[in-house]
Amino acid sequence: MPASYAATDDTSRGRQFSEPRPTHRSEYQRDRDRIIHCAAFRRLEYKTQVFVNHEGDLYRTRLTHSIEVAQIGRTVARALGLNEDLTEAISLAHDLGHTPFGHAGQDALNECMRDYGGFEHNLQSLRVVDVLEERYAEFPGLNLTFETREGILKHCAIAKARELGDIGRRFLDKTQPSLEAQLANVADEIAYNNHDVDDGLRAELITIEQLREVRLFAEQYDAVVRRYPDLPERRAIHETVRRMIGRVVTDLIEETGRRIAEAGARTIEDVRRQRVSLVAYSEPVKEQTLELKRFLRANLYAHERVRGVTDSSVGILKELFHAFLRDPALMPGQYQAKIREAGRDAATRARIVADYVAGMTDRYAQREHAKLTGELPVG
């Protein structure tokens, strides 16, 4: 039974283009299904999370990351009586707007777009589902429900929020999105904090000794080694990471349940009226999570081997962007048509190029770049 504060089909603010209700599915199931069937979702398989695709087959990609987010999100949603379908839909869609080459890619494209309104992957995810996917006869984009779109737009600058209408409203009013949206946001963080520990150790960019300075890791690792002193290291790491996830997920469920009760939130509108997020860790776990994040930023994301690969990719993206902007004929026909439609409007032209570049997978961008520099034959 869903809790009274969960999102439901009946309380949904609906779709931009009205459609008959689905016959055998809920509205949010339909959203989830549309996301899974879209091209941007399939491209996540070849987009960098932290490790560039060709570095190895075992590292997380944006696709496996998104699936892990959905798994954690659904577990918490079920435990709290929230809408699992909505949580899953938001989780699977949250990174659809990501550029190739991870955060370095997003920074590069943002720099290219500096004079044209900038580039932000979160806004781009919304743009993918609202406009860029062209699959349905009756409407542009995927025509998702307000609640899924609200969840995709995690954060937003005030100036942008004004342009976005109803979906940007909460950033102006300083109100909250649904609990499912709040949850997908935290599930994202739980997924990457933990899988980056695993991937970082696998790549030998960080060590267990270093990680033992991080309380969240040390507590679980020490317990594992104490109980299973002969466990091979790789297995001890997996056992530790699974316990770390268990630790924060349990805390999240308990603390969120407590906060919902304390706030007296009985409906989704009660949730939206809150000044602060109700989906939250307890103070001690929040502190420990921040400590882990700081560790990963200093030791993994800033590691010269990660930086080296992603920095060289930055050059690729910038060169592609400027080449396409100068000569749109280098882009596929559908983008050339959009450029013709844009006429002399420089910002719109740049946005079309950014859409094309952002949509690329890592390897597609590398191939296009090789064609541009003559290392690969065109065609």
Q: Which CB sits closer to Mg ion, 180 or 188?
A: 188
Part of the chain binding Mg ion (CB under 5 A), chosen from 18-26, 40-48, 88-96, 253-261: 88-96
Rounded to a whole number of angstroms, the minimum distance from the CB of residue 293 to Mg ion is 14
Q: Which CB sits closer to Mg ion, 8 or 71?
A: 71
Q: How far apart are CA 204 and CA 212, in angstroms?
A: 15
Q: Which of 85, 95, 198, 199 lies at the binding interface for Mg ion (CB under 5 A)?
A: 95
Rounded to a whole number of angstroms, the minimum distance from the CB of residue 226 to Mg ion is 33
Kindly report the backbone phi and psi dihedral angles of residue 229, in degrees, each rounded to the nearest multiple of 5, phi listed first: -65, -25
By Cβ distance, which residue is nearest to Mg ion? 188
Q: Which CB sits closer to Mg ion, 183 or 268?
A: 183
Q: Which CB sits closer to Mg ion, 95 or 255?
A: 95
Q: Which of 130, 188, 196, 239 lies at the binding interface for Mg ion (CB under 5 A)?
A: 188
Part of the chain binding Mg ion (CB under 5 A), chosen from 11-19, 25-33, 91-99, 318-326: 91-99
Rounded to a whole number of angstroms, the minimum distance from the CB of residue 289 to Mg ion is 15
Part of the chain binding Mg ion (CB under 5 A), chosen from 112-120, 126-134, 185-193, 353-361: 185-193
- If binding is defined by CB under 5 A, does position 120 make contact with Mg ion? no
Question: If binding means CB under 5 A, how many residues of this protein chain bind Mg ion?
Answer: 2
Q: Which CB sits closer to Mg ion, 150 or 188?
A: 188
Rounded to a whole number of angstroms, the minimum distance from the CB of residue 322 to Mg ion is 28
Rounded to a whole number of angstroms, the minimum distance from the CB of residue 321 to Mg ion is 23
Part of the chain binding Mg ion (CB under 5 A), chosen from 92-100, 151-159, 212-220, 316-324: 92-100
Q: Which CB sits closer to Mg ion, 62 or 351?
A: 62
Q: Which CB sits closer to Mg ion, 95 or 196?
A: 95
Rounded to a whole number of angstroms, the minimum distance from the CB of residue 62 to Mg ion is 7
Taking alpha carbons only, the member of 73, 120, 119, 111 closest to residue 92 is 73
Part of the chain binding Mg ion (CB under 5 A), chosen from 87-95, 193-201, 214-222, 224-232: 87-95
Which residues here bind Mg ion, judged by CB under 5 A?
A: 95, 188
